[in-house]
Amino acid sequence: MNARNTRSRNARNTRSRSARNTRNTTVRLSVSSLRAHKRRFAGTFLAVFLGVAFLAGTLVMGDTLRASFDTMFGNATSGTDAVVRSADAITTPGESEGVREPVDTDLVSTIERVPGVAAAAPDIQGAGQLVGKDGDPIGGQGPPTLAGNWITDPDLNPYRLAEGRAPERSGEVVVNRGTAERGALKIGDTTTLRTPDPLKVTIVGLATFGGEDGMAQVTFTGMTRADAEKYLTAEPGEAAGIQVRAGPGVSQQELVDRLTPVLPEGVEAITGQESARENTEMISSQFLTLFTTFLLVFSGVALLVATFSIHNTFAIVVAQRTRENALLRALGASRRQVTAATLAEATAVAVTASAAGLAGGTGIAAGLQALFPAIGFPFPEGDLVISALSMTLPLAVGILVCLGSALLPAVRVGRTAPLAALRETAVDTSGASRARAVTGLGLGALAIGVTLTGVLVSPSVWLAGFGAVLALASFVVLGPVASTTAVRILGGPLDRLRGVTGALARRNALRSPKRTAATASALMIGVAVVSLFTVFGASLKATMDQTVSRSFAGDVAVSTPSFGAGGSGLSPRLADAVQRLPEVDTAVGLGRGVAEVDGRGRALTVTDPVALERTFDLGEIKGSLRGLGTDGIALTRKEADRQNLATGDQARLTFTDGEQQTFTVRAVYGRSELAGDYIITREAWAPHRTQDADTLLAVSFKDGVGTDEGKAAVEKTAARYGNPDVQTRDEYAQSSAGGIDMMLTLVYALLALAVLIALLGIANTLTLAVHERTRELGLLRAVGQTRAQLRAMVRWESVLVAAFGTAGGLALGAFLGWVLVKASDSTSDSAFAFALPPLQLALVALVGLTAGALAGLRPASRAARLDVLRAIATE
Amino acid sequence: MTTTTAARVVDAVKVYGTGDTGVRALDGVSVDFPVGRFTAIMGPSGSGKSTLMHCAAGLDTLTSGAAHVGDTDLSTLDDRRLTLLRRDRVGFVFQAFNLVPTLTVAENIRLPLDLAGAEGDPEWIAALIDVVGLRDRLHHRPSELSGGQQQRVAVARAFAGQPDVVFADEPTGNLDSRSGEEVLGLLGRAVRQTSRTVVMVTHDPMAAAHADEVVFLADGRLVDRMTAPTADKVLDRMKAFEVPS
């Protein structure tokens, strides 16, 4: 009994010892091979590092910003226990924040009588843009430019007076400190506030918001309550909301409960906390979410590119080690052991690179936190918020990407036949197999089919997107098939230009189609995304151009920035003033209103329809724009079809002041574009108006008046109304597209990362290839190839691989750009134009080729340094 | 000035490593390789015969002493000039891995000429191709040829640029005896019919027997020379090395 136990324990011990030994051997093997091939994994390490760092940096920065905004709003509104406001908001498509009906300021006295209320103050808000010392308006390029009444109860005012005093007389204002600094304004300065009517104001105080110089980039101007009512609201007695402070011992919820019974129908009370949360949410959804999503997409692209580079490195390293692994197998290593050794190697690289990436990402976030204030963006102070998610997610993604990329090569290692140890070389030259060609072509056909269906037959962004993914997949599968032909064609001129050096470079690139394709794929994806954005940007510009040239029949336009909520619009009196000029035939101002049309929130164009018809091409018009009057409405054919309305039908509009009115459809027009989907007259809008502002003023001159002459006259008049820009038709079209260039620049900067990773991949593959061809390079040197020729040969190979990737990327990018444009066209109301910008795309191609030449530099110089004799003697 | 030696080394010393661990691979060797002669360098392994060839051909540099190809003192040349000298005035046949796998037979033969951007002598090359008997294989890749055929291509490449001297390092080391005979015959014919100069390193008495003269190396020194060698005579001489002295 005892003996048996001992025996079995011994056996168990032996077994576990041997298992441990096996594991140790595996680990030892991979560690030693890692150490021996440090250089080979430098590229892999960098690729994972960059991707993870970018991802982690984005997450940490997002969390930190969100937390900072939370704190800021919390601080700013800590004294407000409840907010009273209209219960319903009208939200138009494409807007995150709805428009609320104003509340009556008379309600303040009612509220003050409620037991438990310590104080209440109306919050009157509107748009107001300050003009800086240099005469240029401050802000207006995105974040809102707000003006409001300076609430005298310091606890209810989210802004705190930091310097100076509160406004007491008409024309005195308090400005948040960030805005004052941006406009180089100080206490005592007199400047203009566009509300949008220009208003002379004197700065008497500077304010902070929640301890910061401002609420991010939002500008705020606080005026006396009388001024605010006069300039920011349609009529006195209206406020956006009422801030309420509770007396001692009354909780926020108790306050709300007590307020609710005294409020009229359609007006609600919410707690201060709820209001702060809504504000944070709003800024998060408008700015942060967009910002972080944008960055996350780009780290995704970078990591996708990295996948190809990493896979390639492992595939090559494994191929080169075939003999070594075969020897191990011959000596008795199991399939599992050699596979595990390779995977262990990948894990080691993945974990170190990802961990380094986390550190790098935190560094990036810290750097940005320091950098942002320097470029005028008040990144709130506070510690970096490093959540578990923002650490574990990038780590997991990094390890997954690395291991996933190494998986196939590792499995291939396991299949190494022991006999392979006896074979000479083991470079994988396969690639252009029939099955691959068939699969790739099938995928391609499917991709085109799905995409075309999603774009043309039954418009669906999802279907089009799925088609785009399929297209990418088919490009990757077809890569090795195409690489042979493509390199042959692309490298054709090389033979003639560079003689035998060129021919050698070309044939080296042709050697292993799979490898060439995988290397090029990384660059292809980078270039494809760059071209996609280039094509989409150019198409957007072309669309703007087309829109303006097709529907704008005027000579000059006066407009406010075309994107974001910033700016204060144009003075509605500007149109009348311009109309009185002797040079002007028609001047029509377009204002913007909001209403619910048969229950759906819609943007209205408020204008003089008769003048509008003269300066805009509205397409085919059914009915007449002449007699809209105070109860008529005109709408586009598209909206008419969607709402099932025709001329003569009735539509019920609900305005932000809560009033409902029935309008008769008097005209249906063909082209919306600049004019908007619904048109009503100024007279019809007047009873429901909020702060008056026009967004666009279109001017056409009398016959015989030159554009320059007319423009000068309009400019002179405009100067008296806050000096907005006066633009010719071309300038107007260009400025409408101005934001696109800014977006593209940002996109290019971010994509540089992906291209950099692709470049590392090319360099890495080449370095490995050079290592693999040591003997051949030695032979070439022995029979008379100079170092310069050798370097040129490696560099040209690199350029060829890059050229293949770039060509594929351009084709794929142009196709995806077309898909995106067509999908946007068929799912949105406005017509999209498709444009292929030849100059920009040529530039993209040039960048791709340059990247190739750069990537070849280091491998080339390493190859040239080879000692001839050692190269010949290499086993 | 004309000379009767295609290549020569004078007091050639090559030391690998330094100090106590230094190995004297060549220890004061002086030898001429006359124009129009087929010289074989023989010796047991470690005797320095490959080092001698590498130094004489400009693939390696001497620690002291001089190496000349024609009238050119190799020690005065930098890496670039050495490369150009190898390209224009020296031909090589190595034991294995002689051909660039991505180039065809014809391109491999023309490789040194193409690297120089030179036209070469088309008649000479055409004749060479016929001599090595590969006219029907010109557009094949090296991987499609047998070992013997590959070495014959290498021989054609070595002579394509009409070099001053062709160095062959164990050219038959990887071949069966019949293919080996063919390659050696080619080298011999090239020397005798076209007055070319060949220096061949070998350890095979049968191969050495194709040469006009054999020089024997042992421990980095020149120990003997033999004209009109036969396989038996060479074998006998080689056996003498193996007797411990």
Q: Are B12 and B26 in contact (CB under 8 A)?
A: yes
- Is the CB of A488 inside 8 Å of chain B's CB atoms? no
pLDDT in tens, A164-210: 999 999 889 999 988 888 888 989 999 988 887 788 899 999 998 87
Give the model's pLDDT for residue A199. Answer: 85
Give the model's pLDDT for residue A422. Answer: 56
Give the model's pLDDT for residue A675. Answer: 79
Q: What is the DSSP string of A607-640?
A: E-HHHHHHHB---SEEE-STT-TTTEEEEEHHHH
Compute the distance between CA of residue A705 and CA of residue A147 in angstroms, rounded to an integer: 39
Cβ of A784 within 8 Å of Cβ of B88? The answer is yes
Mean pLDDT of chain A: 81
User: What's the Cα-to-Cα distance from A436 to each of A311, A433, A478, A771, B74, rounded to whole Å?
Assistant: 18, 5, 7, 29, 54
**Domain range list for chain B:** 37-58+77-242
Of the candidates B60, B101, B103, the beta carbon closest to that of A869 is on B60
pLDDT in tens, A656-680: 777 888 888 888 888 767 778 888 8
β partners of residue A66: none
Element (H, E) at A564: none
Residue A95 has pLDDT above 80, yes or no: no
Of the candidates B99, B102, B112, the beta carbon closest to that of A784 is on B112
pLDDT in tens, A459-506: 677 777 788 888 888 888 888 888 878 877 887 777 777 778 888 888
Amino acid present at B31: V
Q: What is the DSSP string of A327-352?
A: HHHHTT--HHHHHHHHHHHHHHHHHH
β partners of residue A137: A131
- Is the CB of B228 inside 8 Å of chain A's CB atoms? no
The answer to pTM > 0.90 is no
- Is the CB of A775 inside 8 Å of chain B's CB atoms? yes
Which of B63, B67, B107 shows the shortest CA–CA distance to B90? B67
Residue A564 has pLDDT above 60, yes or no: no
Mean pLDDT of chain B: 85
Q: Are A45 and A352 in contact (CB under 8 A)?
A: yes
Compute the distance between CA of residue A97 and CA of residue A104 in angstroms, rounded to an integer: 21
Q: Is the dihedral of CA A802, A804, A806, A812 positive or negative?
A: negative
A743 backbone φψ class: left, alpha, beta (φ>0; ψ -120 to 50): alpha
ipTM for the predicted complex comes to 0.87
Q: Are A830 and A543 in contact (CB under 8 A)?
A: yes
- Is the CB of B112 inside 8 Å of chain A's CB atoms? yes
Cβ of B97 within 8 Å of Cβ of A868? The answer is no
Q: Which residues from chain A sit within 8 angstroms of residue B114, using beta carbons?
A: 499-500
Compute the distance between CA of residue A311 and CA of residue A333 in angstroms, rounded to an integer: 24
Place of tokens 């910002």: A291
A-B contacts at Cβ under 8 angstroms:
68
Q: Are A680 and A593 in contact (CB under 8 A)?
A: yes
pLDDT in tens, A412-466: 777 777 766 555 554 555 556 778 788 888 888 888 888 888 777 776 777 777 8
CA A426 to chain B, closest CA, distance in angstroms equals: 13
By C-alpha distance, the chain A residue nearest B163 is A783
Cβ of B88 within 8 Å of Cβ of A776? The answer is no
Q: Which residues from chain B sit within 8 angstroms of residue A497, using beta carbons?
A: none
Q: Are A869 and B82 in contact (CB under 8 A)?
A: no
End-to-end alpha carbon distance in chain A: 59
Give the model's pLDDT for residue A167. Answer: 92
pLDDT in tens, A621-643: 888 888 888 888 898 888 888 88
Give the model's pLDDT for residue A512. Answer: 79
Residues 6+ apart with CB under 8 A from A599: A654
Please, what is the Cα angle at A586 between A582 and A591, to 5 degrees?
125
Lookup: tokens for A339 = 């596979």
**CATH number for domain B37-58+77-242, candidates 3.40.630.30, 3.40.50.2020, 1.25.40.10, 3.40.50.300:** 3.40.50.300
pLDDT in tens, A532-554: 888 888 888 888 888 887 778 78
By C-alpha distance, the chain A residue nearest B166 is A783
- Is the CB of B100 inside 8 Å of chain A's CB atoms? yes
Q: Are B217 and B52 in contact (CB under 8 A)?
A: yes
Give percent above pLDDT 90 in chain A. Answer: 4
A678 backbone φψ class: left, alpha, beta (φ>0; ψ -120 to 50): beta
pLDDT in tens, B77-124: 888 888 888 888 898 888 877 888 888 898 889 888 888 888 888 888
- Is the CB of A425 inside 8 Å of chain B's CB atoms? no
Region A844-863 average pLDDT: 88
Residue A36 has pLDDT above 70, yes or no: no
β partners of residue A104: A238
Q: What is the DSSP string of chain B?
A: ---SEEEEEEEEEEEES-GGG-EEEEEEEEEEEETT-EEEEE--TTSSHHHHHHHHTTSS--SEEEEEETTEEGGG--HHHHHHHHHHHEEEE-SS--S-TTS-HHHHHHHHHHHHT----HHHHHHHHHHHT-GGGTTS-GGGS-HHHHHHHHHHHHHHT--SEEEEESTTTTS-HHHHHHHHHHHHHHHHHH---EEEE-S-HHHHTTSSEEEEEETTEEEEEEES--HHHHHHHHHHHHS--
By C-alpha distance, the chain B residue nearest A506 is B102
By C-alpha distance, the chain B residue nearest A775 is B97
- Is the CB of A427 inside 8 Å of chain B's CB atoms? no
Q: Which residues from chain B sit within 8 angstroms of residue A501, using beta carbons?
A: 115
CA A863 to chain B, closest CA, distance in angstroms equals: 15
To 10 degrees, the CA torsion angle through B139, B144, B147, B150? 20
Q: Which residues from chain A sit within 8 angstroms of residue B143, using beta carbons?
A: none
To 10 degrees, the CA torsion angle through B155, B161, B165, B170? -20
Q: Which residues from chain B sit within 8 angstroms of residue A775, using beta carbons?
A: 97
Of the candidates B54, B99, B115, the beta carbon closest to that of A785 is on B115
Compute the distance between CA of residue A399 and CA of residue A52 in angstroms, rounded to an integer: 9
CA A772 to chain B, closest CA, distance in angstroms equals: 13
